[in-house]
Structure 1
């Protein structure tokens, strides 16, 4: 049998096809034309989606994984193209999204000569050092013979343990050189990382939960990524334990459930914060204690750990005990652990001992509803934020995917959105990358072609990445954008109001003393996207219905009142500046 020589680019394309990588999201450049040429003859097997900016490619792959739980590949060229990938990769790393990031590098024989776009101040082809903080690992093969091992290791690593992006930085000559290369399959299916806990640990967790008078469950992205929604729902049913959530964990338990209390933290719901600061045993399932959900770790506003006994379950050992001491830390896959816990409970006699606790929670829910519900029925121009949330929830089906971007609107959706299924509420929660939603909605829609996908994005975030409209039209991706148009970087303006006595500068959009924005609907139409401007409350519902029925890309420019702020129920501090007391509720410190 003769030797079959393959170019390196041909091998990479063949590898991606064999591994059933669904898409390559990428932008051309002189550094990666060798790989693009290899894709030419196999375009039907490995679709290329080419947006107008590498940032969009990264966010599309990020959102694709969040919906499909399968990594896509991204492609960037040497120099600026690769650097443009840093932001979306950082976003994906922060929120545990698996991406196979392929970047191009200078030919090995030109390294250290500082050819066009090579970063070589400290080391030859030094982009690998730039990207190391934003990926799980970086690879930089130097010979074509390295490619089979590197590609196998890189794709395997994206989904092992805590998912995340992995980079392969490939010199140009490796795409064009030929060798006898043998395919080495990735081992994602062979390496089992759904690790569980020791039986004695599971038994101790059951003991703590069953003895609790005020038990609480805290859900994060780990529940959604491990697809543990059914197990969580069953545990809640058996133990009648209330649940608070991080935004990326919302929907793991249907939020219509009487046990779902919503987001916890400064802009969380009042019942969630009251339960969090008063619980005696807390079961944390794949959720981080960041400053927004923990009220900047100031005791009494969201958590009191200790004396609350914390049981923290996470696939990533580095997260356990990071911000609060644990009664019991468990390094495990959430789905596997919950299955173990349910089996342990099968052997127990379960007596619900926290009826008074459930009664307290019902009262907190009543007070919160009495405080916020009337505002959802107010009709005004420009629209109140509550009405936008209400109308979107009314029209979006249970399996529809909502993707808020970063900004003032995100606080409203964290506080009031009712996610009904896992993976239907996608957030740039860890890194807060503006543009994630604007671009990511395209990736989400490619992963869920039969489900509506809506980006809710601020006017600031949208104007950072409006070129995605062209990509939606080019590739016929019927995404929907709802632009929350409040004429400024209003979330930051609100910080200036709260911390600096209203000394606003650089946060509102002005022209000749008047609020200013471009005509977003006219802009969208210039791209070939259907568009509607909504200035009056009775226009929003019909506009959303039209967009959902259209089957084509659509943008709705909604003028929203930026002077209305969500009620704070916790605290948030940027030391050394002072923080404000909650506008609803109050600090609680156990005696």
Structure 2
């Protein structure tokens, strides 16, 4: 037993858990924890951005790239109240970090001291974040910290990952108690649950007997690190694949059987395959409204008659939106290995591949139709740039190991539709909660997680102006991230919605001054921070600027003028009742 301050107990636990960073913002409530981090600065590094939301998005993106959590540190009251946006973003996309928040001293609970939330319960910040974390712990004594920390570390990364909150009263950072010396934490074992053998046989039989089999992959494949097994299954059965954005890259998207994203702004071949498949094996995907055309039959899916096999680590996702023919609560990689083992023993694989040959021919035809439709835009040299040309320029320049971090906005629709991720954990999206600021801020965490890889954020002009202080953090800590600002002078995605559903009327969505488009000069803004800055309006200029930015190996902003009046080509739908749902602009829904 050693007598230690609470803050020292927390710092030691973070170090023992091999957590390399704390992304933290100072405040009177957490000065005791800051002092402990000062003492251990050679073992764990504090990085202090200029806003708490930024800290949370950095931690979220770090986990998505490294699959190891880091911690955030915020003060009581407003400091921690800035964190729920990034906690919600991480929770919705199954990403983990430890959010250490400060609170008022226990001796002052329920007396309304400075920055206490006390309306319904004393020191009630945990209720603020309750919807967005797997668990909130509030140890009120130093001797409670070791248990809360151990449980927090275990909970974050087991099962479906997610953020955990450790809410620490001011005095607990500073007070001392006798705490056991546990030493370094052993490597945590990961339990990878599988499916019952009989169920694996049933799934295998369904796949082998299918005439039109299809795989739908989501973030669960990424988190399970099952890219190798997924690719082996695709090649073994020659089964096509559609995906949600957080699953992109787990199968190299240049693979001939990768059909891309499914949903309103997906590809034509992906939606055609979803509408017509007879057996669908879904791996770690949620069937959210955007990848399911709001669950309207005929647009992206038809279940039934399609037989759904759904595998997910979270039992709550099984049957949430479609009743599975077979539902399996298990680890995706384990189930894939089980299926591969079963297929190795089967003598029907060649027969099954022959049976689905016509299906692959149909898919190839749909792919050709789609590529012929979209091809002209990818050679358009107009200025401001067409959105397709921006995607192409980034795709052409980005090296294979580069990390793309997308923010929420109109630009994300285009990257979902056309981006081809080559590897897992290299296309990061704010998908479930769609938080503006994730891409702007998260690129810093992504670069810290994999310093050897270029990290490029594509962000909207609206989203970038929410958290531009990321540039100061990049300079202070020498983080050579690149931002491509999609400058279309609007909240473009919402302006498109207004135009489509309200007769062309718009209000509050275009950025105007005296009736003319207005934005700051983002390149000049970047230079004022000490960041490289270039403004471009032509496709060739963008390619050259991005090459320069990546080669510079310093923080860099590219202000890219994009035509904001070119809406994405929808191939599904997205329904917002009671507004009438829009019909696809290419292709047509199919009713069974």
* TM-score tier after normalising by the smaller chain length: over 0.9
Structure 1 residue 537, shift from structure 2 partner? 2.6
| CA offset digits 1:399-430 (Å, max 9, x no partner) | 11101111100000000001111111100000
**8 A contact 2:284–2:332 mirrored in 1:** yes
Equivalent residue number for residue 279 of structure 1: 277
Question: Does the residue aligned with 2:55 lie in a helix, a strand or coil?
Answer: helix
Structure 1 residue 193, shift from structure 2 partner? 2.8
| CA offset digits 1:419-477 (Å, max 9, x no partner) | 11111110000000001000000000000100000000000000001000000000000
Question: Which one of the candidate residues 256, 259, 262 is aligned to 1:258?
Answer: 256
**8 A contact 2:262–2:291 mirrored in 1:** yes
**8 A contact 1:155–1:186 mirrored in 2:** no
Q: Within 5 Å, give how 1:394-409 maps onto structure 2.
A: 394-409=396-411
Question: Does the residue aligned with 2:431 lie in a helix, a strand or coil?
Answer: coil
Equivalent residue number for residue 207 of structure 2: 209
Question: Which one of the candidate residues 436, 439, 442 is aligned to 1:437?
Answer: 439
Question: Does the residue aligned with 2:35 lie in a helix, a strand or coil?
Answer: helix
* RMSD, aligned α-carbons: 1.0
**8 A contact 1:219–1:286 mirrored in 2:** yes
- Runs of 4 or more, structure 1, over 2 Å off, are 183-193
Q: Return the alpha-carbon distance in structure 1 between the equivalents of residues 2 and 340 of structure 2.
A: 53
The 1:551/1:210 distance shift into structure 2, 3 A limit, reads: same
Q: Return the alpha-carbon distance in structure 1 between the equivalents of residues 63 and 183 of structure 2.
A: 20
Equivalent residue number for residue 336 of structure 2: 338
Normalising to structure 2: TM-score of the pair? 0.98
Q: How many residues align?
A: 588
Q: Within 5 Å, give how 1:326-405 maps onto structure 2.
A: 326-349=324-347, 350=349, 351=351, 352=353, 353-405=355-407
Structure 1 residue 183, shift from structure 2 partner? 4.5
Q: Return the alpha-carbon distance in structure 2 between the equivalents of residues 39 and 121 of structure 1.
A: 33
**8 A contact 2:393–2:539 mirrored in 1:** no
The 1:70/1:186 distance shift into structure 2, 3 A limit, reads: farther
Structure 1 residue 184, shift from structure 2 partner? 5.0
Q: Return the alpha-carbon distance in structure 1 between the equivalents of residues 2 and 282 of structure 2.
A: 53
Equivalent residue number for residue 426 of structure 1: 428
Q: Return the alpha-carbon distance in structure 1 between the equivalents of residues 171 and 161 of structure 2.
A: 30
Equivalent residue number for residue 564 of structure 1: 566
Q: Within 5 Å, give how 1:29-108 maps onto structure 2.
A: 29-108=27-106
Q: Return the alpha-carbon distance in structure 2 between the equivalents of residues 441 and 382 of structure 1.
A: 26
Question: Does the residue aligned with 1:261 lie in a helix, a strand or coil?
Answer: strand
**8 A contact 1:156–1:186 mirrored in 2:** no
Q: Return the alpha-carbon distance in structure 2 between the equivalents of residues 401 and 165 of structure 1.
A: 22
Question: Which one of the candidate residues 402, 412, 425 is aligned to 1:410?
Answer: 412
Q: Return the alpha-carbon distance in structure 1 between the equivalents of residues 183 and 133 of structure 2.
A: 22
Q: Within 5 Å, give how 1:520-535 maps onto structure 2.
A: 520-535=522-537
Q: Return the alpha-carbon distance in structure 2 between the equivalents of residues 541 and 102 of structure 1.
A: 41
Question: Does the residue aligned with 2:172 lie in a helix, a strand or coil?
Answer: helix
The 1:194/1:550 distance shift into structure 2, 3 A limit, reads: same
Structure 1 residue 187, shift from structure 2 partner? 7.7
Structure 1 residue 179, shift from structure 2 partner? 1.0
Structure 1 residue 185, shift from structure 2 partner? 7.5
Question: Which one of the candidate residues 197, 206, 211 is aligned to 1:199?
Answer: 197
Question: Does the residue aligned with 2:29 lie in a helix, a strand or coil?
Answer: coil
The 1:188/1:320 distance shift into structure 2, 3 A limit, reads: farther
Unaligned runs of 5+ in 1: none
Question: Does the residue aligned with 1:558 lie in a helix, a strand or coil?
Answer: strand
Equivalent residue number for residue 553 of structure 2: 551
Q: Return the alpha-carbon distance in structure 1 between the equivalents of residues 534 and 322 of structure 2.
A: 48
Equivalent residue number for residue 490 of structure 1: 492
Q: Within 5 Å, give how 1:1-12 maps onto structure 2.
A: 4-12=2-10
Question: Which one of the candidate residues 225, 229, 232 is aligned to 1:231?
Answer: 229
Question: Which one of the candidate residues 293, 298, 301 is aligned to 1:300?
Answer: 298
Structure 1 residue 398, shift from structure 2 partner? 1.1
Q: Return the alpha-carbon distance in structure 2 between the equivalents of residues 208 and 81 of structure 1.
A: 53
**8 A contact 2:16–2:184 mirrored in 1:** no
Structure 1 residue 4, shift from structure 2 partner? 2.5
**8 A contact 1:149–1:184 mirrored in 2:** no
Question: Does the residue aligned with 1:495 lie in a helix, a strand or coil?
Answer: helix
Normalising to structure 1: TM-score of the pair? 0.98
